[in-house]
Structure 1
């Protein structure tokens, strides 16, 4: 149990990508697993949470698949224009939050569209741990494998000390005002933002890492989808 009352929060889901590495006939977030699309599974953890204030999904303008999903008609969910890069899609969602009346002090969680196995206990752990944090943070896991730094020819330069290395996951949780300003400044400066924490880091702040479950996997390759399907089959009651 967390020691703090869980805060209310907004969610932004960047979902304008096409997921070319899946080699599928549609963007990977619309592939089916366990009777629903990946995107529906991704949204469900947030839509089932009583502290949700609103959820914005950033989509390509010509996306034909979203209107067919039941969640597209949920009054808590709003479609916004996606961009060419993840950061552009996230920033579009943040701007729309301001138009909807969100406060700069409101918490916003950004979560990958193709990360459908977020556990409710991890979401609550993130919310509870960061509820009073002055910066915000993100879910992650310490790396478990030996890491190698290589040269351009693929030869090992050195073994990296993994004790200080974590894999960054989502959700990533920050106050709306600081995140919007950090992303705006970084994008204007031409900084490549691979996640929201990197924008916060760029303005000199240190996000907090909250350890979550390693099975909060992002679906990127066909074998990831096979793994998830098997995981959910194994968890299903007989």
Structure 2
């Protein structure tokens, strides 16, 4: 059985949500968004550890949530994150036990499906790394610094990346260490692995795995929770 750790960066502020508390700690249904998200992974075979990286002022709340949802046979850790998502995940990687795969998932994607998580893990086990995503449905334009359109890339090869992003542990640790040494900041975990010329597979998910970023996203999430109840 492949062993797995889940890392959830949850140190970001909720400025775009127009809330005073970070987005992961906003209530959604009968609990926080963070708790809703963690629940999606708990029945995944081989999951041994959950590491949440959050701001120092929310460490206590994060630990309370882990105590509530993590079963006794699983390890739950809440640690202090960094100033950036990349720093938070780097900090979390220092706490990862001896396992095979590391999954990194946005704290505010509480509707990811278990089958899609498993598909992503299967691909990462085979190829080294895998990310969940969906084909781009909008036409994408590449512009210059004057906002003049320079290119319309074919949508055939454009995908919107989601999470989880899953990697063999040694590969992800190497990618993060190399990024820190080189002073490189990526937009996601995959970009750190890609720059090492390592294979990362795209695994198709669906659009219900959206990221709660704006107030309208939260309204949609609340509707979905009510429907599920």
Match of 1:195 among 179, 185, 188: 188
CA distance in structure 2 between the aligned counterparts of 1:148 and 1:135, rounded to whole angstroms: 31
CA distance in structure 2 between the aligned counterparts of 1:194 and 1:155, rounded to whole angstroms: 24
Listed as ranges, the gaps of 5+ residues in structure 1 are: 1-5
Q: What's 1:80 paired with?
A: 79
**Do the aligned partners of 1:30 and 1:65 also contact (CA within 8 Å) in 2?**
no
Relative to the length of structure 1, the TM-score reads 0.87
**Do the aligned partners of 1:28 and 1:38 also contact (CA within 8 Å) in 2?**
yes
CA distance in structure 2 between the aligned counterparts of 1:209 and 1:70, rounded to whole angstroms: 31
Deviations 1:135-156 (A, max 9, x none): 2211111101111223334343
Matched, 1:210 2:203: yes
Matched, 1:115 2:109: yes
**Do the aligned partners of 1:7 and 1:127 also contact (CA within 8 Å) in 2?**
no
**Cα distance change, pair 93–70 in 1 and its aligned pair in 2 (3 A):** closer
**Do the aligned partners of 1:142 and 1:166 also contact (CA within 8 Å) in 2?**
yes
Q: What's 1:54 paired with?
A: 49
Match of 1:9 among 4, 7, 12: 4
**Do the aligned partners of 2:132 and 2:164 also contact (CA within 8 Å) in 1?**
yes
Matched, 1:180 2:173: yes
SS in 1 for 2:57: coil
Match of 2:213 among 192, 210, 220: 220
**Cα distance change, pair 22–211 in 1 and its aligned pair in 2 (3 A):** same
RMSD between superposed Cα atoms in Å = 1.9
CA distance in structure 2 between the aligned counterparts of 1:228 and 1:129, rounded to whole angstroms: 28
Shift of 1:187: 1.9
Match of 1:165 among 135, 158, 161: 158
Shift of 1:51: 1.9
CA distance in structure 2 between the aligned counterparts of 1:70 and 1:63, rounded to whole angstroms: 11
Bigger CA drift: 30-39 or 65-74? Answer: 65-74
Shift of 1:90: 0.6
Q: What's 1:3 paired with?
A: none
**Do the aligned partners of 2:142 and 2:153 also contact (CA within 8 Å) in 1?**
yes
Match of 1:129 among 104, 120, 123: 123
SS in 2 for 1:234: helix
**Do the aligned partners of 1:61 and 1:81 also contact (CA within 8 Å) in 2?**
yes
Deviations 1:84-120 (A, max 9, x none): 11111111111111xx4x15xx111000111111111
Listed as ranges, the gaps of 5+ residues in structure 2 are: none
Q: What's 1:145 paired with?
A: 138
Q: What's 2:30 paired with?
A: 35
